[in-house]
Amino acid sequence: AKHNGRNCFRFFTQKIAETLHERQRIEKGLRNALTQELFSLVYMPIFDCKDNTVVAVEVLLRCQSPELEGHGPDQFIPVAEATGLIKEIDLWVIKNALQALVILQTEHHFRGKICINISGVELHNEQFPAQVKSLLSHHKIAPENVELEVTETAFVAGDTTCLGTLRALDELGVSLALDDFGTGYTAFTQLIHYPADCLKIDRSFVNDLFSEREARNKMVMFIQNLAKLYELRVIAEGVETEAQLTYLRDLGCDWAQGYYLSRPLPWDDLLELLNA
């Protein structure tokens, strides 16, 4: 038993060392990406459920650093947040997303919104609203064409800094979406205090729509009703089948995105879709 115990211990320390090493590698990859322009964006179209037109485009971050080979934002964003690199990365994303929107508007008659994910870290960054404001005016973009997505878990009930940042962003005129909605622990009664415009139903609930697990397949209906009550727009993410889309449309869901409608697209493919 003693022998086993020691092996077990060695196994775990080795695992921790590997994890630390991996994190350092990711951090290095992120730093290189910032200095060597190894970040890029892909574009996921968002469709109006009623007429299937593209009403918005969500930008998603990709990284070409060799250290990050095979890692998506789900793996590298948490490292960026832990190391503080996220602030620079979020600004890079916003700047490039706005540049893309200018081209879509001026050369491709696009009238929809650009949807940009920002880290919850920014809700505690008092400079953030001013940074967004200056990027908007630099690119001469009307704020109503920009939606910022923050995950619901970033909202700390009763946190005044957090609320102050959200109000400042709202005053700029950009719209605010609560991402991954339903996965956090927001007291639903707190919703009224947030200047949110949109709820994004988390992919996991759309996935469970026709599942046997009663409690979960009712979440979509619950969120839809909640949104109606608070007059919020609803975007369903992760729509992978026609049945899901039909169900969501009949329920009154406004917008939808997911592999059934379109994958996240490289720039040229986005243009092809918009010009079709």
* Contact residues: ligand C2E, CB under 6 A: 60-61, 72-74, 77, 90, 93, 117-119, 149, 179-180, 203, 237-240, 257-259, 264
Binder of Ca ion out of 65, 117, 119, 165 (CB under 5 A): 117
- Give the whole-angstrom CA distance, residue 233 versus residue 188: 16
Structure letter (DSSP) for residue 69:
T
- Distance in Å, CB of 201 to ligand C2E, minimum: 10
Per DSSP, the three-state class of 179 is strand
Stretch in the footprint of Ca ion (CB under 5 A) among 21-29, 65-73, 110-118, 139-147: 110-118
- Distance in Å, CB of 34 to ligand C2E, minimum: 13
Report yes or no: 206 and 221 within 8 Å, Cβ to Cβ: no
Q: Rule CB under 5 A: say whether 179 interacts with Ca ion.
A: yes
- Give the whole-angstrom CA distance, residue 37 versus residue 28: 14
Binding-site partner at residue 197 among ligand C2E, Ca ion, none, CB < 5 to 8 Å by type: Ca ion
Q: Rule CB under 5 A: say whether 149 interacts with Ca ion.
A: yes
- Give the whole-angstrom CA distance, residue 71 versus residue 63: 8
- Give the whole-angstrom CA distance, residue 65 versus residue 236: 31
- Give the whole-angstrom CA distance, residue 20 versus residue 236: 36
Q: Rule CB under 5 A: say whether 170 interacts with Ca ion.
A: yes
- Distance in Å, CB of 255 to ligand C2E, minimum: 13
Output the six-digit token pair for 93: 């994303």
Binding-site partner at residue 152 among Ca ion, ligand C2E, none, CB < 5 to 8 Å by type: none
- Distance in Å, CB of 150 to Ca ion, minimum: 9
User: Which residues partner with 256 through β-bridges?
Assistant: 47, 236
